[in-house]
Amino acid sequence: MASKLYATHVPTSLFEKAALSVDASVRALANPRRADLVGVLGETTGALALRRMRERMARDTVGRSILAERPRIRAHTVSAAALSALPAGSFGNAYGTFLDRHAFDPDDRADVRFVDDEELAYVMTRYRETHDLWHVLFGLPPTVLGEVALKCIEAVQTGLPMCAAGALFGGARVRFAQTARLARVLPWAARAGSRAADLMCVRYEDHLGEPLVELRAILRVDACPPDLGGVG
């Protein structure tokens, strides 16, 4: 068995990863709200996608700085008080409102455990910690429909198999009355994910004070229209 590569690392063989993937898949389908299971699935199936994400980041000036400095989005780095003090209409103020409205805590994200490369583990961590920021950027609420749409965007942006699975199978959780909207929001999400800049190469911490509308324009982000469930 390989030695630990970082503090939270759990070394596993290919066979063990396969077993973890199957177990997480089955249990996550039964209970999609288990974010820990979804996280395990992402870690055990995402090695190729993570390497490609790292390569893209390494070719980008901002991406390289993120890999080198490894900023974290935690409660002590983006405090609720600091976010609420930012101007109304700013990206950071909208993010703070999102966290407060839904009682989310940046520190609730699970630690990466099953990625067998210390730098790739950070890439996965960065992806997880920007998830709620992407909700704000794309104007997607944390509803079933909103999460499925964001998973589609994430699949296009990251290539992670777990995101593609979430977009494909997450629709099973959508109420029958919303199936028509789902059929419209997924094509929108695929286009939005393709049109946007590489969102893994954005140092969000440096843009919190900027107007959300202006940041969306810079990053080529299309907010989800209200008729598809967007919240602006």
Residues at the binding site for Zn(2+) are 131-132, 135, 147
Show binding-site residues.
Answer: 131-132, 135, 147
Give the Cα separation of 33 and 102 in Å (integer): 15
Give the Cα separation of 211 and 198 in Å (integer): 20
Give the Cα separation of 84 and 216 in Å (integer): 20
Nearest to 116 by CA among 225, 8, 191, 11: 11
Q: Please answer whether residues 50 and 159 qualify as being in contact, where contact means their C-beta atoms are separated by less than 8 angstroms.
A: no
In SS3 terms, 72-109 reads as CCCCCCCCHHHHHCCCCCEHHHHHHHHHHHCCCCHHHC
211 DSSP β-pair partners: 90
Nearest to 196 by CA among 140, 167, 160, 154: 154
